Chain A
């Protein structure tokens, strides 16, 4: 996971999104919300969000109408992110 996440973080947007959730760990937001906070294109943000979900950094709660993204509660993953986020 760490290796894949490091690779993903070469992308500035992924770094911005990761930092956003790291700094706002209680946040639950939609793709529209996150793209506002990182000030970037919705489609690009969605692609990164889904990748972060795949890597286990974010959890998603979805219904037919909306998908909410939130920071992981897995302590191991949280520790890995804490190490990586310093370099972002």
Chain B
């Protein structure tokens, strides 16, 4: 109630009321008093006391006049309404109790009126004052709501942002450190460790630890049921100590556990921290499960691609391919042309399958020694389209269809199937064009011997600007001559 009293005192409309009535009533003295004083001296410091002291001739008179004010306040409390009074040297005054619901939380005291207010004016005065009280109460309610709702809205917004950050990646290598960082941020702790459940071994495998103090932390495997992380997983509920909080990540079954240690402010973890970590862990569990499912899906896709690639190798014309080397070359070249991770991955898939369309070429043509006739070459030229058509049915591989389709296009427009030139050829197809041609050069074919790596590089450089894009040739030749790539190539091709 004291807050309402102070709020009312600051209310601008009340000040306007005082001013307006003051002008009409020839400037009486106004005061707002919180409680009824027990003695006249308790009114010291009020406007009323100052006024009475000015007007009353003796100290005794002052005491008497102020006693009148106190009596009027008591009467107004009893009557729960406006009370008139005599104040200082025959002047009139009044007291009006300030009420919220049925509770009195203060008094307006008016003194120095030459005559009593008319009943009509009293009505206006009380109605206006009550309206101002109602307005002040609403203001207070709004303030209170703001105090409680705003922090909750901010917390909700944080939960929403964290959710978006977590679900925006499906790569566990990126996701787990992000969950750890976000946990540390939200809980304001020094260390966070994430362990995932290994159901076969009934243990928790440490995956990531972030320590702000840059302490070296050993990543230890923990048995389910042991220590705080193990217990949290076993009991499927958070385990909280003064300086640790282990929260299981549950999405149908337990995925793992997030453990935060040592709050930045040195205080113990609270039930509130536990609640926040529960929410975060729930989101983390879902995000990890999604990432795991995505990874499984990707593994299936990759296995299928490898399977097809092996089948192609086993055809009569097939030969051993330096697959890891080509994939490495692509992983070096791709980023130089601002390709993102997913684009590079698709280009690698395309590299494994780029000649899948050759399955449609009769074996006798692939095995033919010597040159092809015009009609035979027309059949060979169909293989990018055939390969692209087959793979377009496999949804996860849709992005590689244009790469497969155009990897035999030449920079100068003399390639096939559409005779595209320069930048009309998709970047990935331009890169694969070089890597694929290089691969063909260093691989033995039924109709010719394999070139040495050195000679193949020279051949690629010779065709820069004709068959191949010059900017990619430059990056390719640098990449292929890297010691690690060369070593891998020699190993895969069985050369020393």
Which residues of chain B come closer than 8 Å to A70, judged between CB atoms? 185
Give the chain A neighbours of B155 by CB distance below 8 A. 26-27
Q: Check if A29 sits within 8 Å of B158, measured CB to CB.
A: yes
Which of A3-11, A46-54, A60-68, A80-88 is near enough to bind chain B?
A60-68
Q: Which residues of chain B are within 8 angstroms of A37 by Cβ–Cβ distance?
A: 154, 157
Task: Given A61-B181, A65-B168, check contact A28 B186 (CB 8 Å).
Answer: yes
The tally of residues in A whose CB lies under 8 Å from a CB in B reads 21
- Count B interface residues, CB 8 Å: 23
Interface residues of chain B: helix, strand, loop or mixed (majority): helix
Contact A73 B161 (CB under 8 A): no
A-B contact count (CB 8 A): 61
Q: How far is the CB of B496 from chain A (nearest CB, A)?
A: 44
Please determine whether B165 and A66 come into contact, CB atoms closer than 8 angstroms. yes
Q: How far is the CA of A65 from the CA of B236 in the complex (A)?
A: 32
CB atoms of A73 and B169 under 8 A apart: no
Q: Is the CB of A26 within 8 A of B157?
A: no
Tell me which residues from 209 to 268 in chain B have a Cβ below 8 Å from any Cβ of chain A: 212, 264
B165 and A63 contacting across the interface, CB-CB below 8 Å: yes
Q: Which residues of B contact A36 (CB under 8 A)?
A: 157
- CB-defined contacts of B158 to chain A, threshold 8 Å: 26-29
A33 and chain B: residue at smallest CB distance: B157
In the complex, chain A residues whose CB is within 8 Å of the CB of B161:
28-30, 33, 66, 68
Contact yes or no, B164 A26, CB < 8 A: no
Nearest B residue (CB) for A34: B157
Docked complex Cα distance between A27 and B187 (Å): 10
CB-CB under 8 A from A27, the residues of chain B are: 154-155, 157-158
Contact of B178 among A30, A61, A73 (CB under 8 A): A61
Which single residue of chain B is at the shortest CB-CB distance from A69? Answer: B161
Give, as a whole number of angstroms, the nearest-CB distance from B207 to chain A: 18
Taking A33-B157, A61-B165, A63-B169 as contacts, is the C-beta distance between A73 and B184 under 8 angstroms?
yes
Is A75 in the interface zone, CB < 8 Å from B? Answer: yes
Contact B162 A28 (CB under 8 A): yes
B188 interfacial contact with A, CB 8 Å = yes
B188's contact among A25, A33, A64, A65, by CB below 8 Å, is which? A25
Question: Do the beta carbons of B165 and A68 come within 8 Å of each other?
Answer: yes
The residues of A with any CB-CB pair to B shorter than 8 Å are 24-30, 33, 36-37, 59, 61, 63-66, 68, 70-71, 73, 75
Q: Supply 10 further A-B pairs (C-beta < 8 A) apart from A29-B158, A68-B161.
A: A27-B155, A28-B161, A28-B185, A29-B154, A36-B157, A64-B168, A65-B168, A66-B165, A73-B212, A73-B264
Q: List 14 A-B contacts (CB under 8 A).
A: A25-B188, A26-B155, A26-B185, A26-B186, A26-B188, A27-B155, A28-B185, A28-B186, A30-B161, A33-B157, A63-B165, A63-B168, A64-B168, A65-B168
